[in-house]
């Protein structure tokens, strides 16, 4: 599957599987991909459903005046009749509506942990995709993840089997092997669509999970050169026609040359070595041996990224010119000359947000023509920062007006 971007290409990377590399030099702040989900499902258990957001576009319903409900189940709500109409032909088809209502009364499923109930939601969405958008279902099947008939797959297959007794249009598809394979693809490829940031919420919650087929090709690195932006319930601080509430925007953090692999971090970059390794192994099935992990594996457990940054904060910070900064960016890329010192403090001083409970990554706003922006945007809280000075624009995303440099 080719990436719909002239600046990227998918390649097999030794020891890492498929990955995305730059087909030409890329600039800091450059938008390299905008991706839409082929499947979304809400993070909610199978209890009587009354969501605070639209069950199609996932916008908040707090200030919506034209809310409508599903005419059949009367539980799932939509921000307007347009979203309802789209949902009835796709994500909330007649079969989905009936299936969700039936599972809500399944006493065995509703007593399961939330993770298991969300897997059931995913399976309903995935099998529905095979009917409403067969081409997207084939894309889903092409993603990484093979079947493993573990206890979870067998349990869930048994639970949902009654949903395929006659009303499902493609009963020939339903099998334990496919159910198991779909669950594996969900585990390895699903992205969380997050609620908007709040300083008072230390644990930012997930609104929905989605399969973003092209974004799923990005491999992980603990010092990424690109990061993901989503604009749930808000407008971006630059002109962006046609951007949907659930779309992802991938932007470059700093310049990279042609042929370099483009990587995201699958979680906040401030996590320590042991936490990162644990998450990657449990959630994605691999141990990371990136340049940063190679260095930090020699640290004691009580050393941290924040500790190193704080130590650097006590020293004079040198201002770099463009050539020096480009050289520093190059030095952050993997090399064969590792040592026991932390070589990447510059990344955390320049590219990690310092807002309370945020820990997001900063990337420049998109260039205007050939002119690079000197305004950095946090991909979590949306804070804007120009050089060393904070740009004080409250609610800067609400009007969608781009800042002038």
**82 Rama class: left (phi>0) / alpha (psi -120 to 50) / beta:** alpha
Pick 307 or 18 by higher pLDDT: 18
What average pLDDT does the segment 221-231 reach?
95
The residue-averaged pLDDT of 277-289 equals 90
- Lowest average pLDDT, out of 69-83, 102-116, 271-285, goes to 271-285
pTM: 0.85
| CB-CB contact of 334 with 288 (8 Å) | no
Residue 37, classified by CB atoms within 10 Å of its CB into exposed (0-12), middle (13-18) or buried (19+), is buried
As a whole number, mean pLDDT of residues 321-346 equals 52
315 pLDDT tier (thresholds 50, 70, 90): very low
Q: How confident is the model at residue 48 (pLDDT cuts 50, 70, 90)?
A: confident
Q: What is the mean pLDDT of residues 209-213?
A: 96
| pLDDT the model gives residue 302 | 53
Calculate the average pLDDT of the chain: 85
308 — pLDDT class (breaks 50, 70, 90) = low
Is residue 327 pLDDT above 60, yes or no?
A: no
């Amino acid at each position: 599957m080719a990436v719909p971007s002239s600046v990227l290409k998918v390649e097999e990377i030794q020891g890492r599987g498929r990955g995305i590399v730059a087909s030409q030099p890329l600039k800091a702040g450059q938008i390299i991909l905008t991706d839409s989900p082929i499947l979304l499902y809400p993070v909610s258990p199978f209890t009587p459903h009354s969501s605070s957001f639209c069950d199609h576009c996932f916008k908040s319903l707090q200030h919506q005046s034209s809310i409508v409900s599903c005419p059949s189940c009367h539980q799932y709500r939509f921000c307007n009749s347009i979203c309802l109409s789209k949902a009835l032909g796709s994500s909330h088809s007649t079969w989905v509506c009936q299936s969700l209502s039936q599972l809500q009364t399944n006493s065995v499923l509703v007593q399961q942990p939330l993770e298991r109930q969300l897997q059931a939601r995913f399976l309903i969405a995935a099998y529905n995709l095979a009917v409403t958008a067969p081409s997207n279902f084939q894309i889903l099947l092409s993603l990484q993840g093979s079947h493993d008939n573990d206890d979870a797959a067998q349990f869930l297959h048994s639970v949902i089997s009654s949903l395929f007794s006659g009303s499902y249009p493609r009963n020939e598809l339903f099998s334990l092997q496919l159910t198991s394979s779909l669950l594996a693809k969900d585990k390895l490829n699903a992205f969380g669509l997050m609620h908007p940031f709040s300083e008072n919420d230390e644990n930012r919650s997930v609104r929905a999970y989605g399969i973003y087929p092209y974004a799923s090709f990005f491999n992980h690195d603990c010092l990424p050169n690109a990061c993901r932006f989503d604009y749930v319930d808000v407008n971006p601080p630059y002109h962006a026609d046609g951007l949907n509430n659930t779309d992802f925007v991938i932007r470059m953090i700093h310049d990279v040359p042609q042929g370099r692999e483009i990587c995201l971090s699958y979680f906040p970059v401030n996590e320590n070595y042991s936490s990162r390794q644990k998450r990657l192994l449990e959630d994605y099935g691999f141990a990371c041996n990136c340049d940063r992990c190679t260095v930090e594996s020699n640290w004691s457990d009580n050393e941290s990224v924040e500790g190193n940054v704080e130590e650097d904060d006590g020293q004079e910070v040198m201002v770099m010119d463009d050539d020096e900064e480009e050289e520093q960016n190059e030095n952050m890329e993997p090399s064969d000359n590792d040592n026991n010192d932390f070589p990447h403090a510059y990344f955390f001083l320049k590219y990690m947000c310092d807002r309370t409970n945020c820990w997001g990554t900063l990337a420049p706003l998109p260039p205007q023509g050939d002119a690079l922006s000197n305004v950095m945007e946090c991909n979590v809280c949306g804070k804007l920062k120009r050089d060393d000075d904070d740009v004080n624009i409250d609610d800067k995303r609400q009007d969608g007006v781009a800042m002038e440099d």
